Amino acid sequence: MSKSVLLVLITAVAALGGLLFGYDTGVINGTQFYFSKYFELDPAMKGWVVGSALLGCLGGAIAAGPLARYLGRKYTLVLAALLFTVSAAGSGMPSFLPQEVSLLVVFRIIGGLGIGLASMAAPTYIAEIAPAKKRGVLVTFYQLAIVTGFFVVFLATYFIGSGFSEAENVSEGWRWMFWSELIPCTLFLFLTFLIPRSPRWLVLQGREADAERVLGTLHNAEVAGQELLEIKKSVQKEEWQQQRSASIWQKAALPIVLIGTVLSVLQQFTGINAVLYYGGDIFEKALGYGQEDVLQQQILLGAVNFLFTFVAMFTVDRIGRKPLIYLGSFGMLTGFLLLGGSLYLDRVGLVSLVGVLLFIGSFALSMGPVVWVMLSEMFPNKIRSVAMSVAVAAQWAANYLVSQSFPIIAESEANLEGVWNRSLPYVIFSIFIVGIMVFTYRYLVETKGKSLEELEEVWAEKYGPIE
């Protein structure tokens, strides 16, 4: 087997962490449609069950850094795979477990811990085994794997759900939807034991000979030697930077941290995860679709999300970050105006579906990937690690807030029987999308084609140098 093929295969194994991220996050869409009826959940409790995994995500993301340093990237992925497996097995609630919604919440939180660990360890591992010239392409495998996980789980829930009647799905089908995750989970768990340790982690542990051996397995001798040299320089530079790390509370740093954090939060306030988590409810209660139609529409959601992620991958370095945000925001706003308007006017149908799909596609080519690209580029070296942690933690918190509040607002008397006529959630999201365009114009700096050092100079001109 050639070294390049081996590198791609190892990258694919690590990227399975991203696929499970998407799968575990997306499985709630199909299952909650049925387990909400099984447990007779009110809107607040439905939001708690769906959003509880996000609390696990937050905890996993916080723990991922120390665990990745202590256990290494590889065994952090192994731990994530174990958590995914336990969550998938328990969430289906086999007959020997008490059939209680509180226990389902526990297993969803366990799955969230796995997502939080994988969301940090998988892309980090890929970046650390990849040669510099291929790093960008290989790391995008992870983002592609996430949307692939969404698409695959929507296919799985469709085929499982179509094999049962609606009553059978309420009693048993949702269990099998959760258990379907065991297939990629066990594959991921097995394969992670076969991949090598991260060479960068080995250097951090003082095991340079082992790191050189891993690099020699993946690259030719010249590239392996160059990569080892670059890793050593990088580790020395980071140790130097840690000694000179700056406070994010100083006058020159705080505005940059706030801009990145607000951008991260606004990604969630578009309403993307309300659509991805509660798509079944939207199609049934808002648009009047039946069971089989609901599951089919979820496949459309996953397919559009998948395809437009490719559009973003091929355009983000060509037309720039800010133009994509403007384009995507206009598309998202148009999509929600079509959906909300059709609901308000009681003319639901094809226009409503087009509105949902236009929103999903527009998000996938803009605020989905572009926010992550900009967050990785915009923070100056002295505050990068802390600022990134703050922005990501705020994003998980915003995700939870949207997930918890959406069913409460969607099923409120004001939305169902008041003047809004079921359109209120989409009006709220539309206001935030307009806010994204204003915020982008007023505060964001275009990062396309600029080195990290050039961006630091741009921020220094606006807010002063970071001491």
Please tell me the predicted confidence (pLDDT) of residue 462.
85
Please tell me the predicted confidence (pLDDT) of residue 378.
82
Domain presence at residue 223: no
Say if residue 302 is in the same domain as residue 394.
Answer: yes
CA 52 to chain centre: 16
**Which of 170, 195, 220 represents a domain boundary (last residue)?**
195
Please tell me the predicted confidence (pLDDT) of residue 101.
92
Domain presence at residue 226: no
Domain presence at residue 414: yes
Q: Rounded to an integer, what distance in angstroms lies between the CA atom of residue 217 and that of residue 211?
A: 10
Say if residue 360 is in the same domain as residue 447.
Answer: yes
CATH of the domain at 438: 1.20.1250.20
CB 111 within 8 A of CB 55: no
Please tell me the predicted confidence (pLDDT) of residue 465.
79
Say if residue 356 is in the same domain as residue 456.
Answer: yes
Low-confidence ranges of the chain (pLDDT < 70): 1, 132-137, 139-140, 234-246, 284-294, 381, 385, 452-453
Domain presence at residue 207: no
Please tell me the predicted confidence (pLDDT) of residue 302.
84
Say if residue 317 is in the same domain as residue 390.
Answer: yes
Say if residue 188 is in the same domain as residue 303.
Answer: no
Domain presence at residue 232: no
Q: Rounded to an integer, what distance in angstroms lies between the CA atom of residue 34 and that of residue 454?
A: 52
Say if residue 40 is in the same domain as residue 150.
Answer: yes
Please tell me the predicted confidence (pLDDT) of residue 244.
52
* pTM for this prediction: 0.80
Say if residue 277 is in the same domain as residue 379.
Answer: yes
Say if residue 67 is in the same domain as residue 175.
Answer: yes
Please tell me the predicted confidence (pLDDT) of residue 330.
97
Provide the domain count of the chain: 2
Domain presence at residue 249: yes
Say if residue 191 is in the same domain as residue 299.
Answer: no
**Which of 158, 176, 195 represents a domain boundary (last residue)?**
195
Q: CA-CA distances (angstroms) from residue 353 to 69, 165, 249, 420?
A: 46, 24, 45, 19
Say if residue 171 is in the same domain as residue 302.
Answer: no
**Which of 162, 195, 228 represents a domain boundary (last residue)?**
195
Say if residue 74 is in the same domain as residue 170.
Answer: yes
**Owning domain of residue 455:** 244-467
Domain presence at residue 237: no
Domain presence at residue 205: no
Say if residue 180 is in the same domain as residue 263.
Answer: no
